[in-house]
A = this chain, B = another copy of it.
Amino acid sequence: MPRTRSKLFPTPDDAETAFYEAFERADLAAMMAVWAESDEIVCIHPQGPRLAGFEAVRESWAQIFSGGSQLRVRATEARSYDGPTLAVHNVVELVAPPGENAPVTPVFATNVYELTEGGWRMVVHHATPAPESPRPAEEEPSSQAHTLH
C-alpha cells in the first residue's frame, strides 16, 4: 500500500525530533512517518514483546495512543554513533504525564535510524524501564547481582 510521505528527515536528529514530537502529541500518522516502511523494523516497548514489521509496530503505537493520556517525553544524555547510512542514539527518556509535579519515569532507549530513499527513518526502537531509584551513577556499576547477565 503506497503511502504519501509529507516529510523527509535530512538527518537522524531530525527523525529523532519528529519521533518524540509525534510521541508527545500521540499523533499516529506523524509517528509512522518516522519509521521505515519495512518488514525489517523492530520495536520493543518497555516490558513488551519484540514487534517486527511496519503493521505490528503501527498497531502498537495505535494502541498506546488510544489510551488518550498524552505524555511528556524528553530524550536526554544521548550517546550517538553515526555512520553515512546508519545512526544509533542511546538516550535516557524522561517520561511524565501532564502536570507540573507529575512523577518522571526514566526509560533507556536505543534508537536506530537508516538512510533510505525517503531520508532518514527509524528502523529500531528498543526501550527498557530504568531500574528503581536510586539510580546508580553511570560511572559506577550496579552492585545488584545479575543472575542472567
Contacts and interface: CB of A to CB of B under 8 A. Distances in A.
B81 A138 contact: no
Interface of A: 23, 40, 42, 44-53, 55-56, 59-60, 63-64, 67, 69, 71, 73, 77, 79, 81-88, 90, 92, 95, 105, 107-108, 110, 112, 114, 123-124, 126-131, 135-136, 138-142, 144-149
A95 B47 CA distance: 18
B146 A79 contact: no
A148 B107 contact: yes
Contacts of A149: 23, 45-46, 64, 71, 73, 95, 107, 127
A143 to B, nearest CB: 8
A89 B90 CA distance: 15
Contacts of A146: 45-48, 60, 63-64
A86 B81 contact: yes
Contacts of A135: 49
